[in-house]
Chain A
């Protein structure tokens, strides 16, 4: 029915140009350096967040690395807390809280996360600084990129990339340092003795940092970030956004310094395009709210500067809300924000409470895979299990073990009392024997009950299956 038309219709060319705009070949954005209150805040964010990332890896707590996601040992150390695979649920809970917090902040203050805290923003900021230090100002960078390749250009570019790559590799090293103890890792690095997977992940994460912060930059936000696509759903007319005051600024135009805007027939916008030059995503804030805007407020800083120089009041581009722009009152307390606050408080309190109430004891029961059951010389049926006794406490504990569920069951194990060191998993082979006459079914449910001898309130019950022949059938 619908074959592709051979000539371009008007409608199609409109569609083409629209798509070209969305998917245009990437033209490099050269964000101009900016100074001001929001730039200072962003720098502060960079220093604090990257300081945490690179610094926390080296902290020690109670004889172990303060934050260590020990995958081989299947234990996550977060300061004085130790999490086990059984605690995965807390991690999911934490993720839900993080997502809700993001929604909450978004509905209140727009894209604060994007502008100040997102790793993409933070690392891009560092890479931009390195670039500026080596390549010079925006104008010099543009001029150099337009010039043909020369020895000087090559030298400068090579230096920049070498520093970027070194910094990226150190970032990858720190990342892996959260999974393999970082002190051990640095020893191995010095001795050129890194494991193949450790080296692989250092290069993988390093490459991702170099690619994302050095090359991709704002394209990550525009094309790859899921949050950027759906954040508008959390916006309403009372959400803080960065906007250009069109009523005050237009009509735009250049004029002499200290000219009174009304007298020259122009608005306050001097059309210096500095707000476009500083934008890390290369948009013009004066075109209105755009989803490419990551809310970094660089345009506010630079515009305030220009307004100061012109002797006009600040805030031609400012943090505001849609309601405020229309001269209405904006309110912070709205059903949406109240709901987020209540949910967030409830979930956070629940998580803290539930972590504080964790039992420091766990038991896993693994059936012997090689045989279903065995008959002993005395004619009893025997099942063999491996028990994993997990002591999550900070000191060694002694446990007592029993088994219930079937009449006359006997638990055979090497010692009566089970000793487990602090934070360790003990593999304990045990066997359970029973007279086959009591077996009514081929598969029976039994319970292993473990209890702490010195703290009787700490017990754990784990279900297991006991298999055997059913006699008289």
Chain B
């Protein structure tokens, strides 16, 4: 809630619509997650991972999909943090003072 309010505030200052911020986070992370998924599953066989972790009911397609979304979550977090830290520091100061 708070983060959302901050974001809106921030956007008003920089004139960037929220939707575009969201796209800027989700889209590059989607691309890199795709690459990461490809590389990861080339090396590691999902069957072995599933047996080792005891998730024998998950299908192969499911393992690949879950892998992809975990990667996407991670890359999206790092993209979001980049976006967040990109905010000029003086704006934070200005709001407090």
Contact = CB atoms under 8 A, between A and B. Distances in A.
Contacts of B91: 4
B60 interface: yes
Interface string B27-58: 10001000000110111010010001000000
Contacts of B39: 88
B90 A197 contact: no
Given A4-B94, A23-B20, A224-B23, A180 B61 contact: yes
A455 to B, nearest CB: 27
B76 to A, nearest CB: 15
Contacts of A305: none
A201 interface: yes
- The 3 tightest CB contacts between A and B, nearest first, are A72-B60, A4-B94, A197-B61
Interface of B: 13-17, 20, 23, 27, 31, 38-39, 41-43, 45, 48, 52, 59-62, 64-65, 90-91, 93-94, 97
Contacts of A25: 17
Output the residue of B14, B20, B27, B61 with the most chain A CB within 10 A: B61
B64 A85 contact: no
A223 interface: yes
Interface in A334-373: 366, 369
Nearest to A197: B61
Given A19-B15, A71-B61, A2 B90 contact: yes
B94 A3 contact: yes
B16 A88 contact: no
A74 interface: yes
A16 interface: yes
Interface of A: 1-4, 16, 19-20, 23, 25, 71-72, 74, 85, 88, 91, 179-180, 195-198, 200-201, 223-224, 226, 366, 369
Nearest to A18: B15
Contact of B20 (A88, A180, A223): A223
State the main secondary structure of chain B at its contact with A.
helix
A196 B97 CA distance: 53
Contacts of B45: 74
B53 to A, nearest CB: 13
Contacts of B94: 3-4
Contacts of B64: 71
Contacts of A4: 13, 90-91, 94
Given A19-B15, A223-B20, 17 more contacts: A2-B90, A3-B97, A4-B94, A19-B16, A20-B15, A23-B17, A71-B61, A72-B60, A72-B61, A74-B45, A91-B38, A195-B61, A197-B59, A197-B61, A201-B65, A223-B23, A224-B27
Nearest to A6: B94
Given A25-B17, A74-B45, A3 B65 contact: no
